[in-house]
């Protein structure tokens, strides 16, 4: 059962693989309905009987399906013995520079952001109480006894890169604007499939993207900072993990699903 997995990201991975397999079935079921309805699938995963027990208060998981050619993932064994399609993405909202505090308090505000987003997925909690806080992200309180989604070295390093990028955004508004613009190019037609801040992160911070995933940033108006609160940030925006739907293969479904899964521990940050 998924609930026996100690890794929240492994639970998410297994839940999504099960979701895909169920949507590949011809007979309509609840997974077909969830795919058609769109939106954040994490609450749906929590509602299923398959044992997905963790909750990510500051993460949304979106599966998108479009009629645009070469966007959805297509099983193409005759071409590359693998899947083809657009890259998945992770969209990270960054708080704007806090107002109403002195310059010497900015480092504290940055540290308090990092307490929450040590990795871009934020903290998690489950029925065992790994992380003690409200399930409502707008009423977030904690004793800082966080349970992280995945403390792997790569993800922790990536969280540190995001922290450095945010510190530069607070210091230079022009850099902030460029980071957001390259993440969200205009006039991309039906779907934005090309936004990726990886080149800027590499050029300015020397970060090499190990994930087969686009990295995007947005400038958030949701975050609020209160220096007198326990964590500083009293209103926290959510990261979006966005994946393009893997279309049902005509044949070889078990092989196709296994190939989709063989990205290893990096998944779900990469899926094709």
pLDDT at 151: 64
Q: Read off the pLDDT of residues 135-158 as tens digits, 9 standing for 90 and up.
A: 444 444 444 445 666 667 888 899
Average pLDDT of the segment spanning 111-125: 90
130 CB-side CA count, 13 A:
16
* Closest CA relative to residue 175, chosen from 162, 185, 166: 166
Q: Scan for tokens 């205009």, then name that residue.
A: 186
Give residue 148's pLDDT: 63
**When comparing pLDDT for 3 and 82, which is higher?**
82
| SS3 at position 64 | strand
**Alpha-helix runs per DSSP H in the chain:** 8-23, 30-37, 42-47, 106-116, 153-171, 173-183, 198-205, 253-261
Handedness of CA 203, 204, 208, 212 (dihedral sign): negative
**pLDDT score, position 49:** 59
Please answer whether residues 233 and 223 qualify as being in contact, where contact means their C-beta atoms are separated by less than 8 angstroms: yes
Q: Where are the domains of the chain?
A: 2-266
> Residue 80: pLDDT band by 50, 70, 90 thresholds?
confident
Mean pLDDT within 236-246? 94
- For 77, the enclosing helix (H) or strand (E) is none
Q: Which of 206, 193, 113, 123 is nearest to 161 (CA)?
A: 206
Cβ-based neighbours of 160, under 8 Å, separated by 6 or more? none
More confident residue, 72 or 154: 72
Rg of the chain's alpha carbons, rounded to an integer? 19
201-228 pLDDT per residue, tens: 999 999 999 888 999 999 999 999 998 8
What are phi and psi for residue 198, nearest 5 degrees?
A: -55, -45
pTM score over 0.85: yes
**Which of 126-130, 139-143, 180-184 has the highest average model confidence (pLDDT)?**
180-184
Q: What is the pLDDT at residue 181?
A: 95
CA 130, distance to chain mean position in Å, is: 20
- pLDDT over threshold 60, residue 271: no
pLDDT grade, residue 134 (50/70/90)?
Answer: very low
Contacts 24+ apart (CB under 8 A), 191-196: 191/64, 191/66, 191/68, 191/71, 191/86, 193/68, 193/71, 193/86, 193/87, 195/89, 196/87, 196/89
């Amino acid at each position: 059962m998924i609930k026996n997995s100690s890794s929240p990201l492994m639970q998410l991975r297994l839940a999504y693989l099960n979701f895909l397999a169920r949507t590949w079935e011809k007979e309509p079921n609840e997974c077909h309905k969830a795919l058609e309805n769109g939106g954040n699938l994490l609450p749906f995963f929590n509602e299923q009987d398959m044992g997905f027990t963790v909750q990510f208060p500051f993460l949304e998981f979106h599966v998108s399906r479009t009629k645009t050619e070469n966007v959805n993932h297509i099983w193409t064994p005759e071409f590359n013995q693998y899947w083809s399609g657009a890259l998945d993405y992770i969209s990270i909202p960054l708080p704007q520079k806090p107002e109403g505090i002195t310059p010497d308090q900015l480092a504290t505000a940055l540290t308090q952001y990092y307490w929450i987003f040590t990795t871009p997925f934020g903290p998690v909690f489950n029925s065992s109480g790994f992380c003690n806080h409200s399930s409502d992200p707008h009423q977030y309180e904690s004793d800082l006894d966080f349970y992280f989604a995945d403390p792997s070295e790569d993800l922790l390093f990536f969280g540190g890169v995001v922290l450095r990028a945010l510190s530069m955004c607070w210091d230079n508004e022009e850099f902030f604007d460029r980071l957001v613009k390259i993440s969200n190019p205009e006039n991309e037609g039906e779907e934005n499939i090309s936004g990726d801040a990886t080149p800027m992160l590499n050029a300015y911070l020397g970060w090499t993207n190990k994930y087969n995933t686009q990295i995007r940033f947005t400038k958030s108006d949701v975050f609020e900072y209160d220096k007198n609160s326990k964590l500083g940030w009293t209103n926290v925006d959510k990261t979006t993990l966005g994946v393009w739907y893997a279309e049902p293969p005509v044949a070889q479904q078990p092989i196709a699903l296994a190939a989709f899964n063989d990205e290893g521990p990096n998944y779900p940050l990469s899926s094709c």
